A and B are shown apart, each in its own frame.
Chain A
Amino acid sequence: MGLYDKVKTWIGESPQWLGGDDRLLLIIFGALVGCCSGLAAVALNFSLHAMEGFFSSYRFHWYFFVLPGMGAALSSLFLEKIIQEGAGHGVPEVVYSVSRHGGLLRMRSMFSRLVSSSLTIGSGGSAGPEAPVVMSGSAIGSNIARFFSLNERQRIALVGCGSAGAVAGVFNAPIAGLVFTIEVIVGEWTALNIVPIAVASVAGAQISRLLQGNQIPFTHLHFDVDISTTLAAAGLAIITAAGCILLTRAIRKSHHVSGKVPVPLWVRAAIGGCIVGLVGLFLPQVLGEGYSVIQKMVEGSFTGGFALVLMLMLAKIAATSVTLGWGGSGGIFAPCLVVGSFSGLMYYRGIDALWPGLLQVNEGCFALLGMAGMIGGMLQAPLTAIFLIVEITGGYETILPLILVSVISTTVCHYFEPASFYFRDLIEKGYYLRPRTDAKVLADLRISELVEKDCISVPKNMSLGEFVKVVQQSRRNYFPVIDEITGAFAGMIHLDDIRPYLFDTLLHDTVFLEQIMTTDVETVDIDDDLSEVLSRMDVSGSFSMPVVTNQRFVGMVSKATLLDKYRKELMLQTTD
């Protein structure tokens, strides 16, 4: 073993030289991963600004609408042909990886989404840079863990560190980074996770501050929040929830429709981009991440009327659903913020038109509350929404209506869309497994780990007399019967099956197993999901089942062995 491998092994086995506790190791790695993902976030910000600056001079030409199409097409070509990475929104893939594969992510994911989302968003596509940077940060964490051969639990913590550092870096919002990661990515509040993820958040935000300055994304006027504002926030939550449901369904519908268009993926992305570009010719506010529009609304300087705001909100929803549904690369964070601020502004102006003077606070406050409602509803993560908006606006004085709008919007959304935008597909396919749950423990156990192989197989032409001798040597009640010519599984014999013949010795030489075995036996395959097998056992009322693969008997799987392994796995997963 070379020096290089020795160092890796030494670090990988660090809990031994750290007295069996890996917390310090995770803190050190958390800081490293946080710095790297913070750098990724800054790089994405710089590239987006550079591209927006480059394309800004073309925005006033009639042919501008092709630019988002070109950007989306290049983005799709980059992902599909150069990087060869199946495109997705980013966050669901990270959650899937944490749920199913212990946080293993491909190395190419460290940079692929940064480039593709720069092309999509920088050219005018309506999407956000946050999900791509979360993907990138998480992949950085995963690959650092892989490099040092860390275990699964440590790797998941580092994936969380990458995500937290990325969100903290891109928004200069360390608490939001921490809360988003715990609430959405990792899914469990344990000290073991929180400490390194918090450190990574700090590191990511600090890198962002060093390279971009300590600025909050949206400065605002001072808001005097009174009880009428807080109560009105409850009504806004209904509007934002409606916006969330509309956006979620529009993206899914758009994806569904685009899937039916028989053209290559990059052509599909180009078509979607051109449609967005056409919308942008008339309503340029819907293009790109849209932070400049939010800034105006939060400052209270957006001059458009109620109808224009409503139109912009619907246009932004349409543009985002077409961008993401037709193959552009990006996330939904930024579009949610834009749609949320439009809905907040629209709600404020509606109230003000109906009951002039009722709301004393500046309309920018409602733009801010709208953002919280939209993020809370879309992600179904109210804490993330609250802390994100507080941090990116510096508006702690709005905390009471913020909490209210976030939780009500989340609740209403949950009623119509039981899973968040990120989780819906995963839950539908059975991929989403929260840590320390029954489903997660069962998913981590395989039939091959549970197979009991001490069964004695008997040929089907064996006489009862010979079988009785076999029974004497065995402690089992079940005996698999096999075809002696093909080796295929033929059936099972239970001790109860031979009881009627057992004491009649005359039958011992005249009865053969083929005549008394049960052929109608329910079997399981070695690759079956354990939860599926358990359901089948419950339905049939059986305590054990034979495992048969390719017509060959492999062994038995029983509830007793399962309980034993289940307890061990549960202890492993719940020990901090």
Chain B
Amino acid sequence: MQMFHVFRNTPYGRETLLQTAYFCKKMDITPVVYIPAYAKFLLYMENDVIQVDLDESYLHSPETAKAHVNAVMAELEMAPPRFFAPRHFSTPSLPDVPVSFNFMTCPKTISDLSAKRGSGSIGPRIRRIFKAAAFPVMIPPPVYKPFTRIAVMFGGSANAANAMRLAVRLHRLSGMPVSLYTAEEGRRGKKYYEKLLGKHALTGVFEQTVSDWQIFPQKDFIDNLYKVPHDALVIMGAYGHGLIRQLLFGSTLEIIQSTLPNSLLIVGPNYRGTM
């Protein structure tokens, strides 16, 4: 398995890479690091092409970038990563990045102006990556933050079921305990969500894997996010809706990512991972 990371040769970029390296070490995944030579690149997904527009800081000091990446890996006692060099270009200054990897790190600053404006929002462009990607996307916290457990946001949807499947897979790879968090809509009760687990054929793995399940009312959602441990890797499903839908219906993802300081692993509707 491989995890794709676009390296930014700045102190913040180092923190992000540390987070990627930690995740890879924990899950025994090979990090694939791209040191960009151009300010944009294309991700050709199965049914979409997404242009990632990096800000100029990603092109900072390319001559020291490789050494800095290797130093970060060494800090976590890891071997040097694979360095990705684009082979194909859609136009001379627009490299294509293959999407054959299994995970991708996608900091909030990677491709959206809204994040720069300080609103804290992920923004529509990054949501488009979740939407189209067949792999989970990790949104790292601004500074390196190791995790020791897995927290899954489970609302019962197909995406949430995929998040649960991913959690089981990561539990098997790392041995980290898994907790489930559900924001209850109305007064549906635990049995309703247990039925949903059954509907997604997850009852068996739930019993074997999940050590703790907390159900709290939807109306106190933000307050109850305090229950999520600070040292947990949070996994959740997201539809990656566009700007208009977000404005109309809101976005749970945006609430969670702006409230929690944890690393987030987002599973989109095209994720086809197995347990």
**Chains A and B come from one and the same complex:** yes
Output the least CB separation between A494 and chain B (Å): 27
B48 at the interface (CB under 8 A from A): yes
Docked-complex contact B47 and A527, CB < 8 angstroms: no
Chain A residues whose C-beta falls within 8 Å of the C-beta of B87 in the assembled complex: 529
Interface string of B27-63 (1 = CB under 8 A from A): 0001000000000101010011101010000000000
Docked-complex contact B79 and A446, CB < 8 angstroms: no
Docked-complex contact B90 and A552, CB < 8 angstroms: no
Chain A interface main SS type: loop
Chain B interface main SS type: strand
Docked-complex contact B90 and A527, CB < 8 angstroms: no
Docked-complex contact A550 and B51, CB < 8 angstroms: no
Size category, B interface: 20 to 34
Docked-complex contact A549 and B82, CB < 8 angstroms: yes
Output the least CB separation between A428 and chain B (Å): 12
- Among B10-18, B93-101, B133-141, B176-184, the stretch in contact with A: B93-101
Docked-complex contact B88 and A431, CB < 8 angstroms: yes
B186 at the interface (CB under 8 A from A): no
Chain A residues whose C-beta falls within 8 Å of the C-beta of B93 in the assembled complex: 86
User: Which residues of chain B (69-100) have a CB below 8 Å from chain A?
Assistant: 79, 81-82, 87-94, 96, 98, 100
Q: How far is the CA of A551 from the CA of B92 in the complex (A)?
A: 31
Specify the chain B residue showing the minimal Cβ separation from A529.
B87
Pick the residue among B42, B82, B91, B96 that contacts A550 (CB under 8 A). B82
A201 at the interface (CB under 8 A from B): no
Q: How far is the CA of A16 from the CA of B100 in the complex (A)?
A: 30
Docked-complex contact B49 and A86, CB < 8 angstroms: no
Docked-complex contact A86 and B94, CB < 8 angstroms: yes
Docked-complex contact B98 and A527, CB < 8 angstroms: yes
A96-B90 CB under 8 A given contacts A101-B49, A104-B49 = yes
Specify the chain A residue showing the minimal Cβ separation from B270.
A149
Chain B residues whose C-beta falls within 8 Å of the C-beta of A88 in the assembled complex: 91-92
A486 at the interface (CB under 8 A from B): yes
User: Which residues of chain A (534-575) have a CB below 8 Å from chain B?
Assistant: 549-552
Chain A residues whose C-beta falls within 8 Å of the C-beta of B48 in the assembled complex: 104, 146
User: Which residues of chain B (83-131) have a CB below 8 Å from chain A?
Assistant: 87-94, 96, 98, 100
Docked-complex contact A101 and B81, CB < 8 angstroms: no
Docked-complex contact A86 and B91, CB < 8 angstroms: yes
Specify the chain A residue showing the minimal Cβ separation from B48.
A146
Binding site for A on B (CB under 8 A): 2, 30, 40, 42, 44, 47-49, 51, 53, 79, 81-82, 87-94, 96, 98, 100
22 pairs across A/B with beta carbons < 8 Å?
A: A84-B40, A86-B40, A86-B92, A86-B93, A88-B91, A88-B92, A93-B90, A96-B90, A100-B88, A101-B44, A104-B44, A104-B49, A106-B51, A108-B51, A146-B47, A146-B48, A429-B88, A429-B89, A446-B100, A549-B2, A550-B30, A551-B79
